[in-house]
Structure 1
Amino acid sequence: MTQDQVLHILFLTLVTAAKLAAPILLAVLIIGLLVSIFQVATQIQEMTLTFIPKLAVAVLILIVLGDWMLGTLKAFALEIIEISISR
């Protein structure tokens, strides 16, 4: 395996990881911000209040986008196998 192939595989890995993590991270970030604004407005300073909404949104995103995520992982795995066979 050449250095170019290794760098290409590394690039594909990082792009795929970013594609898969971005929807969940962005949704949890937005919910965390909204809950924080709610806590400031109501002066409720409970640390565990943010946990349940973030968890619920993360699970919802996984349910909604799970098929797309698995398809992306499958395409990534097939491309890696193709690269390793063609060497």
Structure 2
Amino acid sequence: MTPETVIDIMREALWMIVLLSSMIIGPGLVIGLVVSTFQAATQINEQTLSFLPRLIVTLLVIIFLGPWMLTQLIDHAERLIGSVPYLIG
């Protein structure tokens, strides 16, 4: 196994981590920004007002994108396991 192969495998794994985590974190970040703008405009300082919408959006994203995310992880694992004989030899 060459160093280029190891770097390529790590690059793919890191890209998968970034892609899947951004799918969960991104919508929560946008909702948090919208809620904090609303709080700043109305001068409401309620902690649950900023926490609850982000929690709900994060759970909805996990519910709706969870099967796609799991499929991506399984496909990546199958490609990696399938390429083991070529990587060793």
| Fold equivalence (TM over 0.5) | yes
Runs of 4+ in 1 over 3 A off after TM superposition: none
Higher RCO, 1 or 2 (CA under 8 Å, sep at least 6)?
1
The answer to whether the Cα contact below 8 Å between 1:5 and 1:83 also exists between their aligned partners in 2 is: no
The answer to whether the Cα contact below 8 Å between 1:32 and 1:54 also exists between their aligned partners in 2 is: yes
The separation in 2 between residues aligned to 1:34 and 1:53, in whole angstroms, is 10
Map 1:1-87 onto structure 2 (within 5 A). 1-87=1-87
* Structure 2 residues without counterparts, runs of 5 or longer: none
Once the 2 structures are TM-superposed, how far is the Cα of residue 3 of structure 1 from its aligned partner? 0.9
Q: Which amino acid aligns with 2:2?
A: T
Once the 2 structures are TM-superposed, how far is the Cα of residue 38 of structure 1 from its aligned partner? 1.1
Residues paired across the two proteins, number: 87
TM-score, normalised to structure 1's length?
Answer: 0.89
Once the 2 structures are TM-superposed, how far is the Cα of residue 66 of structure 1 from its aligned partner? 0.7
* Structure 1 residues without counterparts, runs of 5 or longer: none
Q: Which amino acid aligns with 1:31?
A: I
Once the 2 structures are TM-superposed, how far is the Cα of residue 83 of structure 1 from its aligned partner? 2.6
Once the 2 structures are TM-superposed, how far is the Cα of residue 82 of structure 1 from its aligned partner? 2.1
State the SS of the aligned residue for 2:71: helix
Structure 1 stretch displaced more, 45-54 or 74-83: 45-54
Taking only aligned residues, the RMSD between alpha carbons, in angstroms, comes to 1.3
